Structure 1
Amino acid sequence: MGTLVTVTAVTRDPDRAELGVERAFAEMSRLESVFTRHDSEGEVARLNEAGVLAEPSPELVTLLRRCRRVYDRTDGAFDPTILPVVSAYESGSNDPREARRRVEGTSFDAVDVSASELRTPTPVTLDGVAKGAVVDAGVTALRDWVDAGLVEAGGDVRAFGGDGAGSESRWRVGVEDPRGDGLAETLRLDSGGVATSGSYRLYYDADRTEHHIVTPGSGRSPTEDTSVTVVAPDAETADAYSTAAFVMDDDRASSVLADRGGLSALFLTRDGGRRATDGWGDLQVTD
């Protein structure tokens, strides 16, 4: 995944903890190879090269189907077919005309997903959801062996078992300050997923206005927010909806998150501002 991955296990049996951590890393490594677009021999790269992939892995089919649901629920704000625009930025092009040209024809509506075959006229990327999905898989493998645990990969978190007696047993998860001043906030979590989408680490111009998160339809990077953090029942959902919320305006993002249910979000803006959805305050550590 190109990032640091940590696994924390809580149990009285050190042998079970070691086995659980090993199983978690093995499962995450396996799924990373399925979901990545950067391995030329991988399924996503082969799909993008040929436009068709026969006999895809069940995990890839399942994830693409879940991407379809998020795409529909966000009215296309989450769109894996945005890859041609992202690739242009990655290759050094900041020309808005090139971005508009490349965004033409991108739509997840054109992607056909079945258990036996995948078809797409446009290259796809799972960058906006794969990390969360891999983290969730790590937790699924870990939870069979330990009482409580937490998996973190580059800001995507999934925790479980933090609901023991007393508030001190709950997990604490930090939200990074995009200005580089440590943590903006700390959350207290029993279980669930946390993911942050931000423009402050990977950008393509000196002004930091063109970055790896791109608005479907325009092909440009949104500039109002520097990070959006979403808390959800799992890391995959948090990952996908933080990506979608980042490219929406305030009202639309709040409406989509509320309609989905079970989600809370924090928006940190480019000018140092802060806004949060209902329920966020219940998660904050204030002491």
Structure 2
Amino acid sequence: MSLSLRPAMERRRILLGGLGALAALATGPAAFRALAEHRGRRAATRAGLAFGTTVSLTLVAERDDAFEPAFRDAFAAIRAVEAAGSLYRPDSALSRLNRDGRLDAPDPLVLAMLRFALTLAERSGGAFDPTVQPLWTLWSDGAARGERPGPQARAEAVSRVGWRHVAVDETGIRFARAGMCLTLNGLIQGFAADRVMAALAAHGIADAFVDTGEFAAAGAHADGTPWRLGLGAHGDRPSEVIAPFAGFAATSGDDATAFSPDRRDHHIFDPATGLSPTALSRVTVTAPSGLLADGLSTAAFVMGEAAGAALVRLYSGCAARFTVKL
């Protein structure tokens, strides 16, 4: 599960502007612009900061005045998800739960994410566990000291991990063990993509490409060509391209935050051992929802290729791509 409080990918360290602050017509080769104009379609891109990284939305519409209200509500949806479950915000509902060990009258968005997380924890045999935040604290603190946590320190942190010890109902969320902490970083960006796409659909935007740290797409470019999604990196080029791309996609990889030069130790942890899985370097899942894609990619990374693929097959419309660590 992704626990990093740092930007999810190095490429996202270049910030393009604050939420709602940057709007510009998308540009491209003259031929593609001409095709778009011939079809009576326009494209606009807006970018901002969320989840400790950059996010961007590209929308296609027939009128320029359709963009602003769609962007406004889409970024409002992102801010609402952040306020509910982001560890980057000390005032979020999740941060308050971790601080106090309980959360009364929880935000419905927190409940939606946590209930999904606990269901996935059960179905994955605990490979996906939203209570692994103590492991992130252990490893990040160790990295700051230039140390690798030893067996005793890992065992102590693992003793505070366990999804079965989270009580959830409409009245509140409570931890049954002292020292527990939750993270929703393994699914929150995918959930945000779901909320953004719903906000855009409410404004009649049928063609869009969304990057919240995970990806979503519907329809096509303004020129009528399909969306394409590049995966991984091989030099200056993606190692694989999904084309056409529609729906949702999420990737879990060992390159987001590494605690060792060889990426043996990184931000994705096996909740049972406190160590990082070593078989895979990347898992990408495509799915009918961002929440499902994001959560499954994390679970499958921990489980390994065979068991992870079996888990993904339990969900209709989902597929996984595995990259074995060399």
1:60-91 CA distance string (max 9 Å, x none): 11111111121111111110001101111111
Matches within 5 A, 1:107-256: 107-120=162-175, 121=177, 122-145=180-203, 146-154=205-213, 156-162=214-220, 169-177=225-233, 180-189=235-244, 191-256=246-311
8 Å Cα contact 1:159/1:193 also seen in 2 = yes
TM-score, scaled relative to structure 2:
0.77
Count of aligned positions: 267
Q: Structure 2: give runs of 5+ residues left out of the alignment.
A: 1-50
Structure 1 gaps, min length 5: 272-287
SS at match of 1:143: helix
Distance 2:128 2:174 in 1: 19
What is aligned with 2:122?
Answer: 72
| Maintained 8 Å contact 2:193/2:216 | yes
2:216 is aligned with what amino acid?
Answer: R
Sequence identity percentage: 31
Whether the aligned pair in 2 keeps the contact of 1:215 and 1:221 (CA below 8 Å) is: yes
Instruction: Say if 2:138 and 2:149, in contact at 8 Å, map to a contact too.
Output: no
Deviates more, 1:143-152 or 1:122-131: 143-152
Pick closer, same or farther for the CA change 1:162–1:247 going to 2, 3 Å.
same
Give, in angstroms, the shift of residue 105 of structure 1: 4.1
Give the RMSD, CA atoms, in angstroms.
1.9
Runs of 4+ in 1 over 4 A off after TM superposition: none
Give the direction of change, closer, same or farther, for the CA distance of 1:35–1:189 in structure 2 (3 Å limit): farther
Match of 2:74 in 1: 24
**Partner residue, 1:281:** none
Counterpart-to-counterpart distance in 1, 2:76 and 2:190 = 16
Q: Is the 8 A contact 2:254 2:266 kept in 1?
A: yes
TM-score (norm 1): 0.87
Q: Is the 8 A contact 2:252 2:297 kept in 1?
A: yes
The structure 2 residue matched to 1:85, chosen from 128, 135, 148, is 135
How far off its partner does 1:163 sit? 11
State the secondary structure of the residue aligned to 1:213.
coil
Report the residue type matching 1:170 in the other structure.
Answer: P
Corresponding residue of 2:9: none
Structure 2 CA distance for partners of 1:223 and 1:190, relative to 1, 3 Å: closer
Instruction: Give, in whole Å, the separation in 2 of the partners of 1:153 and 1:190.
Output: 16
Q: Computing the radius of gyration over CA atoms, which structure comes out larger, 1 or 2? A: 2
Assess, with a 3 A threshold, how the Cα gap between structure 1 residues 68 and 180 changes in structure 2: closer, same or farther.
farther
> What is the correspondence of 1:31-50 to structure 2 with a 5 Å cutoff?
31-50=81-100
Shift of 1:246: 0.5
- Cα distance in 1 for residues equivalent to 2:150 and 2:289: 35
Aligned partners of 2:106 and 2:170 also within 8 Å? yes
Helix, strand or coil for the counterpart of 1:220?
Answer: coil
Partner residue in 2 for 1:104: 159
**1:258 & 1:232 partners in 2: Cα distance?**
11
Q: Distance in 2 between matches of 1:76 and 1:260?
A: 17
Asked whether the equivalents of residues 134 and 160 of structure 2 are also in contact (C-alpha less than 8 Å), the reply is no
Letter matched to residue 185 of structure 1: E
Check the 8 A contact 1:194/1:229 in 2, yes or no.
yes
The structure-2 alpha-carbon separation of the partners of 1:139 and 1:78, relative to structure 1 and needing over 3 Å to count, comes to same
